[in-house]
Amino acid sequence: MSVASNAPLVELKGVRFAYGEREILKGIDLSVRRGQLVAIMGGSGCGKTTLLRLIGGQLRAASGQVTVGGENLSSLGRSGMYALRRRMGMLFQFGALFTDMSVFDNVAFPLREHTRLPPELIRDLVLMKLNAVGLRGAGGLMPAELSGGMARRVALARAVALDPMLIMYDEPFAGLDPISLGVIGQLIRRLNDALGAASIMVTHDIHESLEIVDYVYFVSDGQIVAEGTPDQIRASRDPFVHQFVCAEADGPVPFHYPARDVADDLLGVEGGR
């Protein structure tokens, strides 16, 4: 199904999700338009990666609606979901390269798996993707021979091998040195613009993200608690946003897990451990 130019490419309305009795998402509303690079931020365990899995169809929402490329994911069967996923790219945390395949074969994998292109055309496309991330000369290397930043760039080339309409990133900056982090950030921005795609990035790296994204959603306790452009986020007086941006230990997100008064526990008052 085609998507109108002014319609969101990705849209979540009232999405709720739980693992068993533990509710993770409690009515999420968000949208991403083609050409946008959107960040989803929040503390560990708040449901950010779960959102990516719902958008990618790995999980089904308990209620609400997830729409991608004009398709309501709850109404798609297996073949429809696989067809939609071929229009998505995914950069997994730490890259997740196939360790027994060369750099070239890692990038070629989705092309060989999902197309019937001749080998010579696949070769040219792989070299073009590797060239886009600055690693055309590294095609013969194995993942174990790469630095962390190089491995992440190879994974990025693989994520865009099929020229996806939607690219998702799960903590793309994790474990990178400052130089590699800056390189990956600029590549994410440039590739999104070159492809005319939409990108969704789950990240904790607030400062690097605000330099490259168009819009930010903050998630806490399974809900969107703040949102805005980078300039709006920087100027925000919202307590949660301030705590997150300034990396403060205490605030709306408490440092201490709920417990009785420490004196009661230390003195062995009845009910303590």
Residue ranges of domains in the chain:
94-165+173-199
pLDDT at 90 over 60: yes
Interval 189-235: pLDDT, tens: 988 998 889 999 998 888 888 889 999 998 888 888 888 998 888 88
Distance CA 171, CA 201 (A): 7
Query: What pLDDT is recorded for position 237?
Result: 80
The CATH number fitting domain 94-165+173-199, selected from 1.10.40.50, 2.60.120.1440, 3.40.50.300, 3.40.50.2000: 3.40.50.300
Q: Which residues pair with 216 in a beta bridge?
A: 39, 228
CA angle 84, 85, 86 (to 5 degrees): 90
Prediction pTM value: 0.82
pLDDT at 146 over 70: yes
Q: Mind giving me the DSSP string for 216-265? A: EEEEETTEEEEEE-HHHHHH---HHHHHHHHT-SSSSS-SSPS-S-HHHH
Query: What pLDDT is recorded for position 145?
Result: 93
Distance CA 137, CA 167 (A): 25
Query: What pLDDT is recorded for position 175?
Result: 78
For residues 253 and 245, the answer to whether their CB atoms sit within 8 Å is no
Average model confidence (pLDDT) across the chain: 85
For residues 229 and 215, the answer to whether their CB atoms sit within 8 Å is yes
pLDDT class of 272 with cuts at 50, 70, 90? very low
pLDDT at 85 over 60: yes
Kindly state the tokens that stand for 91. Answer: 């950069």
Interval 29-49: pLDDT, tens: 999 999 999 999 887 777 788
Average pLDDT over residues 164-181: 86
Average pLDDT over residues 182-187: 88
pLDDT class of 251 with cuts at 50, 70, 90? low
Distance CA 61, CA 169 (A): 20
Query: What pLDDT is recorded for position 130?
Result: 92
